[in-house]
Structure 1
């Protein structure tokens, strides 16, 4: 009991001096009251977990919105007539990027449709999707 009284007097003497140093005071208070330090740690952990949960929920909602937008776009582009009129106007890299987007959103059949329609319009032997006969010069290059 005397030890606690001594500590109390030491703490009351240190209190005015540690008022200017909050970090030192928190260490002293944590050493004298470990349950208070644990409570503060638990409360800060709870606050951080609540914040993390809110962030995860917002990201999940955004992913759902983006996935739905990708599906809507794939439904719109899943039209052979549209692809046959437009795909041959794309460069090979543009057609590949569009196909990669549709594959990434889970619509590989739309990607294949656009690449096929794009390849039908490729008439240069050097094009990536060219399907015609290649000359010897193009084969050696």
Structure 2
């Protein structure tokens, strides 16, 4: 979809004021799926709320597992990562041949 939508400034400000608070971000972000938080972050960026978009993504990422899109933690040593399109997924560690 490449169409542009016009949103009245007062509506955009009311939306960002309501959705860009530390309390709501920390309470809700971890319960959203990756696609949901990405969509919200894109909308916030379109409304000029870059920092809020980053905060939503970061707060969401705190609850992500190593196989989730926004995971930012340390991957356990026994796991290796293989890329699958745009998503990372764990793959069994490569077996080493003993010689």
Q: Relative contact order: is structure 1 or structure 2 higher (C-alpha 8 Å, sep ≥ 6)?
A: 2
Q: Aligned pair count?
A: 78
Kept in 2, the 8 Å contact 1:96–1:115? The answer is yes
Structure whose residues are more often strand by fraction = 2
Q: For residues 86 and 106 of structure 1, do their structure 2 counterparts lie closer, same or farther at Cα, with a shift above 3 Å needed?
A: same
TM norm structure 2: 0.68
The equivalent of 1:112 in structure 2 is 54
Confirm whether residue 63 of structure 1 aligns to residue 31 of structure 2.
no
Q: What does residue 73 of structure 2 align with?
A: 132
- Counterpart of 1:121 in 2: which secondary structure? coil
Which 5+ residue runs of structure 2 have no aligned equivalent? 83-90, 92-99
Higher Cα Rg: structure 1 or 2? 1
TM-aligned CA deviation for residue 64 of structure 1: 5.3
- Higher helix residue share: 1
Q: Is the 1:126–1:138 contact (alpha carbons within 8 Å) kept by the matching residues of 2?
A: no
Q: Tell me which residue corresponds to 1:92.
A: 34
The runs of at least 4 consecutive aligned structure 1 residues that moved more than 6 Å come to: none
Give the direction of change, closer, same or farther, for the CA distance of 1:63–1:85 in structure 2 (3 Å limit). same
Contact 1:125–1:138 under 8 Å retained in 2: no
TM-score normalized with structure 1 length:
0.50
SS in 2 for 1:82: helix
Alpha-carbon separation, structure 2, partners of 1:64 and 1:139: 42
